[in-house]
Amino acid sequence: MGREALIIVDVQNDFCPGGALAVDEGDQVIPVIRQWAEQFASQDKDVITTQDAHPPHHISFRESGGPWPSHCVKGTWGFWLHADLTLPKHFTIFKGYLPDVDAYSGFEGTLAGSNLNLNDFLHQRKVDTVYIAGLATDYCVRATVLDALKQGLATTVLIDAVRGVNVHPEDSQHALDEMRRLGAHVK
């Protein structure tokens, strides 16, 4: 039996109300995630946060022909985790830092200050089971969940701890259905 980890996806200012790419009710995940994080830490389980860490003019920005307004530019206010998301000891994964590559999944990211990718990091930590929370259900949470399943990790989406962008109104529901169909637990 391996260890369990909590992966908190992109609870950054730009994805919360007031941010450049605000997710409706995005900040409502914060108290829920804080409780999960405290519980994981108290059981010596790893807590991992991911952050979108784009350079200016990233390929996913409208100014570069992409779909999104400029967001989560590394070092700006919108890039930082929401101030209310106070967390116990945790590890940080950055993703989306290459100018010409978009990266929705945490598994396309690396441990801050190193080139260790998330999958290798989880292997080193003997993690075989992940719980996933954060923003946004229909983009980065979805992509992270699908990659976790591809890596053979037992994967649970924490339903009260995710919110979606919903460019189309049903996007989050469809994403959750897809995650379930591919083997994720939703709890």
By CB under 6 A, name the binding residues for ligand VGL.
Answer: 10, 15, 52, 60, 68, 104, 135-136, 139-140
Rounded to whole angstroms, how far apart are CA atoms 15 and 170?
A: 19
- State both tokens at 74: 């590394």
Question: Could you tell me which residues come within 8 angstroms of residue 155 by beta carbon, excluding any fewer than 6 positions away?
Answer: 129, 130, 132, 145, 148, 149, 179, 183, 184, 185
Residue 45 annotated in active site: no
Q: Supply the minimum distance, in Å, between the C-beta of residue 125 and Zn ion.
A: 26
User: Which is the catalytic residue, given 52, 95, 102, 138?
Assistant: 95
* CA dihedral (56, 60, 63, 64) positive or negative: positive
Q: Out of 46, 102, 140, 147, which one is annotated catalytic?
A: 140
Chosen residue from 52, 108, 138, 147 binding Zn ion by CB under 5 A: 52
- For the CB of residue 136, give the shortest distance to ligand VGL in the complex, in Å: 4
Told to check if 108 binds Zn ion by CB under 5 A, we report no
Return the C-alpha torsion angle 55, 24, 179, 42, nearest 10.
Answer: 80
- Tally DSSP H helices, then E strands, for the chain: 4, 7
Q: Which is nearer to ligand VGL, 43 or 65 (CB)?
A: 65
| 150 flagged as catalytic | no
Active site residue 95: yes
Contact window for Zn ion (CB under 5 A) among 52-60, 76-84, 122-130, 166-174 = 52-60
Judged by beta carbon, residue 46 or residue 108, the one nearer Zn ion is: 108
Shortest Cβ distance from residue 54 to Zn ion (Å)? 6
Tokens 């519980």 appear where? 39
DSSP state of 61: B
Q: Given 10, 14, 27, 138, which residue is catalytic?
A: 10
Instruction: Provide the residue type at 96 as one letter.
Output: G
Kindly list the residues in this chain that would bind Zn ion in the complex (CB under 5 A).
Answer: 52
The catalytic residue positions are 10, 95, 140
